[in-house]
Amino acid sequence: MSRAADHAYAEIRSLILSGEASPGSPLTEEQLAQLCSVSRTPVRDALRRLEVELYVVRSDSQRVFVADWSREDVDEMFTLRGMLEAHAAARAAKRFDAADLHALRRCNAAIEEAVRHPQPDIAGFLDANRDFHRIIVEIARSPRLAATLATLVEQPVVRRTAMRYGREQLAQSVQEHRELIQAFEARDADWAHGVMTGHIRRAFHAFSSHAA
Amino acid sequence: MSRAADHAYAEIRSLILSGEASPGSPLTEEQLAQLCSVSRTPVRDALRRLEVELYVVRSDSQRVFVADWSREDVDEMFTLRGMLEAHAAARAAKRFDAADLHALRRCNAAIEEAVRHPQPDIAGFLDANRDFHRIIVEIARSPRLAATLATLVEQPVVRRTAMRYGREQLAQSVQEHRELIQAFEARDADWAHGVMTGHIRRAFHAFSSHAA
DNA sequence: CGAGAACCATTTGTATACAATACCGTCATA
DNA sequence: TATGACGGTATTGTATACAAATGGTTCTCG
């Protein structure tokens, strides 16, 4: 994917993440093309990617809409994510090297930093948190697993809801990451598996309790 | 996706499945367009779909090649598949209705039929087997799970290798499906989970022992 | 003889025009 | 009033021309 298509992808994606394009609203190729100052061709490519990543859905007649996640959808997503990320964590606990561990620590420090202030920087938290989880998946060295998870992790609904998280939930998250790192240091795959399972489950509960 | 793009998709896919286009060989849009008697536009759409479904891979410079599966790739695929299908089986065991059960029985009968003859109809086995697993995933009512599994199940490498399976392996498979149906009748999610886990693991071993 | 640069051929990316299809409001009719 | 057919409009699908980029080959120079 090259310049114009990448640009269109990023632009449309942020349109959705920011909430400017609300869930369920239709997206037409022409309109997006004008918005991005490109032709319909790269827009079509971008929409295909966004479709795979579940940002948008296609109707039977090929019209594209901003994805609208039901409670069941979110539930399903967290369930799959828990299963797959726990597996990733178990694999990673057996495969990481010193540099990986260092990267994880640095990343968790960044998360902590974002949470510390009286007014937590939740966007910063979400970005660093995403990185943390991504690093673990990277360490697991399982490209298909990584590809699958990539389509599940950064969901607009979840992200928007997370904006309402309280300090305790954020701090709790940091703590769980710490335990995960401990499990890594012990090279204990089962421990890592369990911690990650609980971590994702609690994230789901946090989501549920903050959802509108 | 409409006529031309669908046609291109089907044609390219069968080109790969039949082995006419061998793993690692390059595919160019123009050449495929001529083969399918369409323009490059629908070919591009088809290639995107085939990329998501792991039939083809893209190099850094966006060139497309028939996917070439290493032993690790196959291993990873079976691992993920085992995890996800076991989950699907557990869910399905709690959700199926009478019609679902009937469909599963019919499907397993078809598998049995394909295996019975002195010269087993392995292509027939593979098709019916795919249907059996697909029905279970359907019953689980988890669209993202279904979408993920769809990208993992029908792999050319596996299919070609399965062509060398012996009678015992095929018969064993029928038997395991029977036990799965029993677990369903008992509405025992854990049992179904365990049977499916073992079923996929043994399928992997069968693959490994027949792989060139 | 080897390394590197310049060139040409091949391939993918993008824009655009036109065709096909789907959606939606209108109108006729029961 | 409900329903169904019709037609205009909006939207997506396809083909094609051209631009950009990539890869390989050859030629030159050290």
- 10 Å CB burial of residue A87 (0-12, 13-18, 19+) is buried
Q: Which two tokens stand for residue B65?
A: 């090649």
Q: What is the pLDDT of residue A198?
A: 97
- pLDDT band, very low/low/confident/very high, at B2 (cuts 50, 70, 90): low
ipTM value for the complex: 0.81
For the segment A104-113, the average pLDDT, to the nearest whole number, is 94
Give the percent of chain A with pLDDT over 70: 98
Domain end call among B66, B86, B108: B66
Smallest Cα–Cα separation from A82: which of A193, A168, A6, A208?
Answer: A193
Residue A166 in this model has a pLDDT that exceeds 90: no
Interface test with B, best of A51, A76, A151 (most B CBs within 10 A): A76
Residues 145-164 of A with CB under 7 A from strand D: none
For the segment B104-111, the average pLDDT, to the nearest whole number, is 94
Q: Are residues B93 and B8 in the same domain?
A: no
Least confident among A76-90, A180-194, B32-46, B62-76: B62-76
Q: Are residues A81 and A126 in the same domain?
A: yes
Q: What is the pLDDT of residue B164?
A: 83
Domain end call among B51, B66, B81: B66
- 10 Å CB burial of residue B92 (0-12, 13-18, 19+) is buried
Smallest Cα–Cα separation from B161: which of B24, B19, B55, B54?
Answer: B19
A 160-199 residues inside an 8 A Cβ radius of B: none
Of the candidates B52, B73, B144, the beta carbon closest to that of A76 is on B144
Average pLDDT along chain B: 92
Contact yes or no for B1 and A77 at CB 8 A: no
Q: At what angle do helices A122-140 and A71-95 cross, to 10 degrees?
A: 50
* Residue B74 CB neighbour total at 10 angstroms: 18
For the segment A29-47, the average pLDDT, to the nearest whole number, is 97
Least confident among A28-32, A97-101, A164-168, B81-85: A164-168
Contact yes or no for A80 and B148 at CB 8 A: yes
In Å, how far is A208's CA from the nearest CA of chain B? 19
Smallest Cα–Cα separation from B87: which of B75, B76, B95?
Answer: B95
Q: Are residues A57 and A83 in the same domain?
A: no
Instruction: Specify the CATH number for the domain of residue B11.
Output: 1.10.10.10
Domain end call among A66, A87, A104: A66
Least confident among A103-117, A173-187, B34-48: A103-117
Q: Are residues B61 and B91 in the same domain?
A: no
Q: Which residues span the domain enclosing A104?
A: 71-210
Structural domains of chain A, count: 2
Q: Are residues A48 and A138 in the same domain?
A: no
Does an H or E element contain B184, and which?
A: helix B167-185
Q: Is B62 left (phi over 0), alpha (psi -120 to 50) or beta?
A: left
Residue B158 in this model has a pLDDT that exceeds 90: no
Q: What is the pLDDT of residue A211?
A: 80
Q: Are residues A54 and A87 in the same domain?
A: no
Q: Are residues A95 and A186 in the same domain?
A: yes
Q: What is the pLDDT of residue A1?
A: 54
Q: Are residues A26 and A110 in the same domain?
A: no
Q: CA at B66, C1' at D14: how many angstroms apart? A: 25
Q: What is the pLDDT of residue B18?
A: 86
Give the percent of chain A with pLDDT over 90: 72
Which one-letter amino acid corresponds to residue A7?
A: H
Strands B64-66 and B26-27: antiparallel
Q: What is the pLDDT of residue B1?
A: 54
Residue B153 in this model has a pLDDT that exceeds 80: no
Q: Are residues B38 and B75 in the same domain?
A: no
* Residue A46 CB neighbour total at 10 angstroms: 28
Smallest Cα–Cα separation from B207: which of B152, B162, B169?
Answer: B162
Q: Are residues A194 and A91 in the same domain?
A: yes
Smallest Cα–Cα separation from B173: which of B184, B183, B165?
Answer: B165
Q: What is the pLDDT of residue A2?
A: 65
Residues 6+ apart with CB under 8 A from A108: A132, A174, A177, A178, A181
For the segment A184-210, the average pLDDT, to the nearest whole number, is 95
Nearest CA in chain A to B62: A1
Q: Are residues A104 and A204 in the same domain?
A: yes
B150 at interface of A, judged by CB pairs closer than 8 A: no
- 10 Å CB burial of residue B2 (0-12, 13-18, 19+) is exposed
Q: What is the pLDDT of residue B23?
A: 92
Q: Are residues B60 and B100 in the same domain?
A: no
Instruction: Specify the CATH number for the domain of residue B118.
Output: 1.20.120.530
Task: Answer yes or no: is A40 CB < 7 A from strand D.
Answer: yes
Task: Answer yes or no: is A51 CB < 7 A from strand D.
Answer: no
How far is residue B201's CA from residue B77's CA, in Å, rounded to a whole number? 11
In Å, how far is A119's CA from the nearest CA of chain B? 36
Which one-letter amino acid corresponds to residue B90?
A: A
Task: Answer yes or no: is B130 CB < 7 A from strand C.
Answer: no
* 8 A C-beta contact, residue A86 and residue A189: no
Q: What is the pLDDT of residue A150?
A: 84
